[in-house]
Structure 1
């Protein structure tokens, strides 16, 4: 009579004890994705705060946002105190045109964003716009706050 014994576990390789798991050979990407999403949210919140930090009370209109270029936008700010700032640097009104011509020569875009306090007389804003135009900036974008009246007859303020 021949009795046969069944082999357990295959050939003569390593045998594992009960309860021990094999070493993981793949990377767990879940913590990596979690960290990247948190960083993305932080940068999305912080990015608008990195733009020009001069406090100006912008006039309110119903105009929409303009499309963005690849180049950092050039911003000219007129404060209620009468200061004129290019990006964050104060500049004398008499040296505005030569300074802006030098900047225009270095840039690929001829666009400038004009931020003027709502209390400034229109004449002063128009003078700065004329100076920008003579310096070579033909695309002057007026920056406003987007919560203003629409002035349409269908129910605007």
Structure 2
């Protein structure tokens, strides 16, 4: 059986427009992701040095414990309080004694981003004297 071979001197044409559209879309995607990841705020978390003895430091006599219960639901030592009033209370508490520490106790079911955002807001008022606490 013989097949006739066609000899075509004409080269096939390749349409580059769809490929360029896909490449530009991918490039735009990566540019947007890069720009959005670069604008995130980072919170400096300083871990304590390893202690030889396992005795925790003594708690202050009048602890300032802020509980983050839900979104914009805050409690100060078990009593509900507004966020703006909390900032004023923090400034007063931290101004009384330079050794005082404010503890933030977040709820277990809260998103990580929300807790870190609130911790950052508290650190804008109290600086490094604001600590994230955990319940045991």
TM-score, normalized by length of structure 1?
0.43
Larger Rg: 1
TM-score, normalized by length of structure 2?
0.48
Of the two structures, which has the highest relative contact order with CA contacts closer than 8 Å and spacing of 6 or more?
1
Larger fraction in helix: 2
